[in-house]
C-alpha cells in the first residue's frame, strides 16, 4: 500500500495530510499569524504517522507545495520535506500552491484564475483550464480592474486565499465572475500528488527549490 505525506506551508496555514491511493487518511491544519510552522509541522507529522502505526520509511512519497507564498513558510516546508526524503530515499513531489488552491474549486468545471495575496494590491497569479492545465505562468501582478478585465472571460472563475482578498477582488470584477475564498490546504493536494505518483513525476531532491516568483525582501 502506498502512502503519501502532503505538506503545504506557503501561507499562514500550516497543513499536513496523509493519503493513500487518492484518499485522505488523516489531516492537520493550523492557521498561525506568527508562522510557527517549524514547530507545528514536525509535531503534526509525527502525530499523524504514530496514530496510523507508520514510520517515515513506510512513506512512498512526500509532496510539498512549492509556492509562491511566504518565504519563511516555504523554507521551513522544503527543509522538512528534504529531511524526510533524502536519508530514506523517498520520492519527492512538488506542486504549485496556485495549482493547489485552483484544485479546491475544480468541481465548478470552469477556467480558474488563482490569486494569492502578496503585499498591498500585488498578488501571485496563474490561470488554469477546467482540467488544471496551466494557461498562464505564475507571476506577481498589480491587480486592478483593467488588468482583470484583460484576462477574464465568461468561462472563468476566481479563487483567492482569504476573505479579505475575496472582498477586494469582488469589488473589482463586480458580479461578472464568481469569486471563491479557500484556505491553501494539503487536502487539496491529494488528487494532484496521487496523479504525479502514478505517473512517476518526481523531483530531484538536491535541486528542487521553492517557486519564489520574485526575490525575497532584504531588510
Band of residue 218 on the pLDDT scale cut at 50, 70, 90: very low
Q: Hey, what domains does the chain have and what are their CATH numbers?
A: 4-96+185-198 (3.30.420.40), 105-181 (3.30.420.40)
pLDDT by residue (tens digit) across 38-86? 889 999 999 999 999 999 999 999 999 999 999 999 999 999 999 999 9
In terms of Cβ atoms closer than 10 Å to its own Cβ (0-12, 13-18, 19+), residue 125 is buried
pLDDT by residue (tens digit) across 176-212? 799 999 999 999 999 999 999 999 999 999 999 999 9
The pTM of the full predicted model, rounded to 2 decimals, is 0.94
Q: What backbone torsions phi and psi does residue 119 show, to the nearest 5 degrees?
A: -130, 140
Longest CA–CA separation in the chain, Å: 54
For the chain, give the percent of residues with pLDDT over 90. Answer: 89
pLDDT of residue 32: 77
| Whole-angstrom distance, CA of residue 144 vs CA of residue 55 | 48
Q: H or E segment at 160?
A: strand 156-160
| Whole-angstrom distance, CA of residue 49 vs CA of residue 177 | 41
Amino acid at each position: 500500500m502506498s502512502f503519501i505525506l502532503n505538506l503545504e506551508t506557503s501561507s499562514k496555514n500550516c497543513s499536513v495530510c496523509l493519503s493513500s491511493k487518492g484518499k485522505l487518511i488523516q489531516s492537520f491544519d493550523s492557521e498561525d499569524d506568527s508562522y510557527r510552522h517549524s514547530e507545528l509541522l514536525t509535531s503534526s507529522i509525527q502525530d499523524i504517522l504514530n496514530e496510523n502505526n507508520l514510520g517515515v520509511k513506510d512513506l512512498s512519497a512526500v509532496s510539498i507545495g512549492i509556492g509562491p507564498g511566504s518565504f519563511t513558510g516555504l523554507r521551513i516546508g522544503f527543509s522538512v520535506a528534504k529531511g524526510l526524503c533524502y536519508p530514506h530515499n523517498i520520492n519527492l513531489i512538488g506542486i504549485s500552491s496556485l495549482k493547489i488552491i485552483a484544485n479546491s474549486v475544480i468541481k465548478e468545471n470552469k477556467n480558474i484564475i488563482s490569486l494569492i495575496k502578496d503585499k498591498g494590491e500585488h498578488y501571485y497569479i496563474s490561470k488554469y483550464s477546467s482540467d488544471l492545465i496551466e494557461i498562464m505562468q505564475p507571476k506577481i501582478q498589480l491587480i486592478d480592474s483593467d488588468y482583470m478585465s484583460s484576462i477574464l472571460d465568461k468561462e472563468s472563475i476566481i479563487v483567492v486565499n482569504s476573505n479579505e482578498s475575496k472582498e477586494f477582488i469582488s469589488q473589482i470584477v463586480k458580479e461578472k465572475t464568481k469569486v471563491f475564498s479557500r484556505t491553501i490546504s494539503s487536502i487539496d493536494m491529494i488528487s494532484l500528488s496521487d496523479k504525479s505518483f502514478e505517473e512517476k513525476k518526481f523531483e530531484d531532491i538536491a535541486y528542487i527549490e521553492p517557486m519564489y516568483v520574485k526575490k525575497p525582501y532584504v531588510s
